[in-house]
Amino acid sequence: MSDEEIAAMDRSALLQIVVTGSTARTEGEKDVTPSATARKPPGEVEMQLQLKRAELQLKRMEAEDRKAEREAQDRKAEREIQSRMRQMEIEEREKKAGQKGPDGVRFKSKGTRNEG
């Protein structure tokens, strides 16, 4: 097909040629557009694939690092919550221990009575 014929075609006809060229070919038919690998020097495609694999591996490792960081932060927050809960329990026990008993006698924190 000549350049003049292509220039005279409308958009839908051009798209049909592209679709036809990119679909599976029967034996003997030649692709209208050369493949991306056909335009690159030998070895460059393999090099680009290795580079892409390395980039993907780096992204995967970074994602794993972010996940580990979040998990570490979650564990730290959980420890802080548990520590606060224990502290509140201790304060509650001390508060109860400092209150007066039914006979008006104040209790010491060790459980011994103190006349007061």
Is the model more confident about 96 or about 58?
58
Point out which residues pair with 106 in neighbouring strands.
100, 114
Is the model more confident about 5 or about 50?
50
* pLDDT tens digits along 58-90: 999 999 999 999 999 999 999 999 999 999 999
Q: Supply the pLDDT for residue 96.
A: 86
Token pair recorded at residue 42: 């030998």
Asked whether 115 and 105 are in contact (CB, 8 A), the reply is yes
Token pair recorded at residue 103: 């006979």
Q: Supply the pLDDT for residue 116.
A: 44
Q: Each residue of 49-66: b (16+ CB within 10 Å) or e?
A: eeeeeeeeeeeeeeeeee
Q: In what helix (H) or strand (E) does residue 107 lie, and over which residues does it extend?
A: strand 106-107
The predicted model scores a pTM of: 0.42
Q: Supply the pLDDT for residue 35.
A: 58
* pLDDT tens digits along 13-60: 767 766 666 554 554 555 555 555 556 677 888 888 899 999 999 999
